[in-house]
Copies of this chain bind each other. A is one copy, B any other.
Amino acid sequence: MKKVTIYDVAKKANVSLATVSRVINDSSAVSLATRERVLKAIADLNFVPNAVAQGLAMNKSTSIALIVPEASFSSISTIINGVVDVAHIYNYNVVLYSTNAGEFEVDKIMNNIIKNRFNGVIILNSELTSNALDQLAKYGIPVTIVGTNIKGKLRSSVFVDYEKITYQVIKDYLKQGKDKIFFIDGDYNRFIVEEMLIGIKKAYKEINKEFNGHLIVEDSYEKSYSELKNHLANNQADLYLASRDSLAISALNAALDLEIKIPEELEIIGYNNTKYSLMSRPALSTINVPLYEMGAIAARQITKMLNKQEIEIKNHEVKANLIHRSSTKE
């Protein structure tokens, strides 16, 4: 299959390549007759415009970069789907990068993004150094962050107010006099975890107590399970709040195996409302976060920034809410 160019089409249709280009982009008016002639030639020759050359000529690519954490959490792929679906609607390709935030690695990614002249970048709540962000800014590449509220020129974000929702949930428990609360996190996504912690502490402060139930566990199921089992065996608790559903389920199973009754003797809440939370026994109460939408919104934001359209809401807050299932009372 020899490559056919716009030039071949022009020859076949007996016009100049300029005209062919015109009908391809219906840029300026072309007479119906020649237009059809060109169209026919294109069809006959099976011509497909070379996006790379177009990119060069127009000095813009049609790709956005998507940087996600390496981990294969269910939440991540949901967001990715949102991004990809919407990006494709607006005719952008998405180039996937994954990272575990190694400084070196991030640099390499940034460099690659710049080399390829991608017009925009979406970053999933990873712990990118602001250094990396600055670099993108220097090259005028718009960024939207999903997960955290980051302000700045050429920056937009879509996020949930983890502090607020967490505060509300915890406050509710404290009001009922349940103050033996532990917060579990997998030492991952520190930005978000930090917000959650602030919410918790704020609630505690209002009743003039100090919160000191922060528990960091290893990320794998087996590890977190045994650490939590150990913790449960040695501590009296009203509520375990876990930064991800899967961690919450580790706690759930550990409790069950210790014959602690849920929710009667211990309540458990996770975050994200992933498939896990439905599948556990008892079904897990969880703080629902609209992940797919967040991805979709991020993609929409970036496309608008690329077209220099104004983004009404540069920092788009999305609502989270507690879903009561069977691991909590009430």
Interface residues of A in 148-191 (CB under 8 A from B): none
CB nearest neighbor in B for A81: B72
Q: Does the CB pair B221–A275 fall under 8 Å?
A: yes
Interfacial chain B residues near A72, Cβ < 8 Å = 74, 77-78, 80-81
Interfacial chain B residues near A117, Cβ < 8 Å = 50-52
A90: Cβ under 8 A from any B Cβ = no
A276: Cβ under 8 A from any B Cβ = yes
Decide yes or no: A96 and B279 within 8 Å by CB, A61-B52, A72-B77, A74-B72 being known contacts: no
A56: Cβ under 8 A from any B Cβ = yes
Interfacial chain B residues near A114, Cβ < 8 Å = 48
Complex CA–CA separation, A88 to B70 (angstroms) = 13
Q: Does the CB pair B93–A112 fall under 8 Å?
A: yes
A115: Cβ under 8 A from any B Cβ = yes
User: CB-defined interface of A68-101 with B at 8 Å, one 1/0 digit per residue?
Assistant: 0010111011101100110010000111111000
Interfacial chain B residues near A280, Cβ < 8 Å = 279-280
Decide yes or no: A49 and B96 within 8 Å by CB, A72-B78, A280-B279 being known contacts: no
Complex CA–CA separation, A93 to B61 (angstroms) = 14
Q: Does the CB pair A52–B50 fall under 8 Å?
A: no
CB nearest neighbor in B for A73: B77
Selected A-B contacts with CB under 8 Å, 8 pairs: A48-B115, A49-B115, A72-B78, A76-B77, A77-B77, A84-B97, A249-B279, A280-B280
A-B contact sample (11 more), CB < 8 A, given A50-B115, A95-B95, A256-B281: A48-B111, A52-B52, A72-B74, A72-B80, A74-B77, A84-B96, A93-B116, A94-B95, A222-B278, A249-B279, A276-B276
